[in-house]
Structure 1
Amino acid sequence: MTYRLHIPGDQHDIYKALPDEARRDIAVCLVDAVHDPLRASEPYGEDDGIIRTVARGRAAVVILIGEQTNTITVLAIAYAG
């Protein structure tokens, strides 16, 4: 099942301001996550299966998995650059 991706405006602004390399890493993470979010991610703190982290290179994204709505929402973007 494919999930729909939702990036709130404030997170999209952060994404747009990142260097190209970080944007590519985040895009790859999110593309992988929309197909199988649990497999493509790691627990964020306690493993509740809902709030997860995807990471690649020096970029990480905290996502909220909405199983009933088949959505993934970006909660936070981090870049160590």
Structure 2
Amino acid sequence: MTYRLKYGTGTEAVHDAMPSIESEQLSLALAAACEDPIGATEVYGEDDGVMRTLVTEHAIAVLLVGRITKTVTVLQLSYTG
């Protein structure tokens, strides 16, 4: 089942400010995370299946996976250039 993507405060602005190629890579990775939040991401701290890390060549995102709400929320996004 597909999850709905949400952004935390300020994270969407970081994504919007990224150069187009890096932004597209992140968008594709986020789409994959919405299809399979556990398979498309890595463990963040303790493997609780709720907090996950998404890593692309130029970005690192901390995600919150809401199983009941079927949402993936980008809590933190860092552009590594």
Superposition TM-score, scaled by structure 1 size:
0.92
In the TM superposition, structure 1's runs of 4+ consecutive aligned residues that sit over 4 Å from their partners are none
Structure 2 Cα separation of the partners of residues 60 and 18 of structure 1: 12
Structure 2 Cα separation of the partners of residues 44 and 22 of structure 1: 22
Do 2:14 and 2:79's aligned partners in 1 also have CA atoms closer than 8 Å? Answer: no
Q: CA deviation at 1:79?
A: 1.6
Q: Which runs of 5+ in 1 are unaligned?
A: none
Structure 2 Cα separation of the partners of residues 38 and 69 of structure 1: 15
Structure 2 Cα separation of the partners of residues 70 and 28 of structure 1: 18
Residue 39 (structure 1) aligns with: 39
Q: Where is the helix percentage greater, Structure 1 or Structure 2?
A: 1
* Superposed counterparts of 1:61-72, under 5 Å: 61-72=61-72
Q: CA deviation at 1:35?
A: 0.6
* Superposed counterparts of 1:42-53, under 5 Å: 42-53=42-53
Do 2:8 and 2:76's aligned partners in 1 also have CA atoms closer than 8 Å? Answer: no
Q: CA deviation at 1:9?
A: 4.5
What is the aligned length? 81
Do 1:26 and 1:61's aligned partners in 2 also have CA atoms closer than 8 Å? Answer: no
Structure 2 Cα separation of the partners of residues 32 and 11 of structure 1: 18
Structure 1 Cα separation of the partners of residues 34 and 60 of structure 2: 15
Structure 2 Cα separation of the partners of residues 80 and 58 of structure 1: 5
Question: Quick one: which amino acid aligns to residue 28 of structure 2?
Answer: V
Q: Which runs of 5+ in 2 are unaligned?
A: none
Identity rate, percent: 40
